[in-house]
Each structure stands twice: as C-alpha cells, then as structure tokens.
Amino acid sequence: MLNIVKKTISELKAELDYRRAIANHAKSLPELEQRDRRILNQLKTEGVCVTSLENLGLNSTSNLLKVAKSQLSRMEPPKNSHTGQRLPQIYTMTELPEYSTWATETRLMNIIENYIGLPVAFHGVHLRKDFPNENQFGTLLWHKDAEDRRIIKIFVYLSDVEEHHGPFEYVPLSLTSRYNLNYYRIQYELWRSGYLGFTDETLNKIVPKSAWKSCPGPAGTVIFVDTKCVLHHGTLRTEERSALFFVYTANPPKRPELCTQYWDDTFAKPDRLIQTTSS
C-alpha cells in the first residue's frame, strides 16, 4: 500500500512539473507562418492534419524522396509468415543526412514545438513497407502510442494509398475527449488488451464505423498525428503500402526507453548506412 501511495505522489509531482514547464515555455514558442498555423490548429482540434510534400514545400524534399525510393527498391519481402501474419519490413534511416535534414527543417520543428509546448526531440525515422494481411494484429489493431504525453509522428506516403493499400485511419479527438464517455470505454479496452490494441469489431461498439476517418492519398501525402492522444491504426490491406515514419516528442520524453527503436539496432539498417558507419 505504501508503495502505491509513493508511486501516486511521484506521478502527481511529475505531472505538476510537466504543466509548470509548459507554462514557462509558452513565451518562448517560435512564431509560425499562417500556413503552418493551420496545421497546428488542426492538430489541436482534430489530432491529425493531412497535407502534402508539395504544400509543405521544404527545400530538402527532393533529396529525401530520391534516397527513400532508392532504399525502398532494395527492401526484400519477409521470408516468414508468422502463422499467417506478414510483418512489416522496417529500415531505420535516422543516421542518413537526407532523412534527418528533412526531419529537422526549421518550419517542421517550429510547428511541432508549438503543438508539444516544450523543446522538441527528433528521435528518428523508419522506412516501412507493409504487406497484405487478412487479420488484425500489431499496428493494425486500434491503439495509442506511449513514448510521451504528446507525440507527433509524420507519415509520408511513398506510393499511392487507396483503400486496398491500408491507409492510416483514426477517430477524431472530439469523439474521444476526457469529457466523453467514449474516452473511458476506449481506455478500458486498451487496458484489457495490455495496451496492445483492439479490433474493429470492439471499436464499432463504442464509436460507429461511420465516424472513423480514413486517410487515403497519392504518393507525397503527409500526415501529422499525435499518436498518444489519437486512437489510430493501419487498416487491413490487399496490396502493399510504403511510407516514412518520423517521430518527435518533448525533450526529454516521459518514457525515453520506448524511443530507442528509432535509432538503435532494433530494425535493419540499409547497406549505405552500414558502410558509412563502419568506415
């Protein structure tokens, strides 16, 4: 019992310190251009903002796409099915300058800092190819991420994504806020699953499928999402999908141990990166 009390007091203190840091940093937040304020406002109200590489117009985009497409062409499909579950093929690209340069462009970092409300850490980027699957598992289940209190992930589609490619899908924040009974029903289902996620069938009993929002789009579609606050998943697909996943939190994040996968050896690294780091 004493340990529970100590843990509760520690968590309350950490939350108060966090809120105090947010308030103190408010006056230091960078100014945003009007076009970037639209992205910020949508993140605050919806939890998600969909745009495109063309609309963002970042100087480093051409180099990013050139290298990503080259590496994508070298990715091999998985050699095992894991009892019918085709796992995604993931490369960690964080140390390649073409990726990190794009990820840390000033405009992007300013948008994210304004949303998170604190100095920002860019943790890394995954080049990911997802394959057809008939059943929900892993990130195909509805879930929330846990690296921090607020997390921004930027997904960039490298190929056209229609319904049969398994687009990103989410439930708008307005339907899952703390002032809505849905929030507590969702949190209960996440707890029951060990925070691994739950199926479409379960969610449909809480939030009707008609309210879910799917994000198909052509190659170059960019999705900003707070994956901590927004219930989300990748949908079942009959054709493969290719995308980049960029990850940002406050600096430092609440749970730094969950962020190491974006730069360590959890996933494969491309030949070029291996050659560069070993020379």
Domains in the chain: ranges and CATH:
31-278 (2.60.120.620)
pTM given for the model: 0.93
Mean pLDDT of all residues in 87-98: 94
Q: Report residue 51's pLDDT band, with 50, 70 and 90 as the boundaries.
A: very high
Q: Do the Cβ atoms of 182 and 206 come closer than 8 Å? A: yes
Whether pLDDT at 167 is above 80: yes
What's the whole-number average pLDDT of the chain? Answer: 93
Cα separation, 71 vs 88, whole angstroms: 15
Cα separation, 190 vs 146, whole angstroms: 12
Cα separation, 220 vs 196, whole angstroms: 29
Instruction: Give residue 80's pLDDT.
Output: 58
Whether pLDDT at 82 is above 60: no
Beta strands in the chain (DSSP E): 48-52, 89-92, 120-130, 152-157, 168-170, 213-215, 221-226, 232-234, 241-250
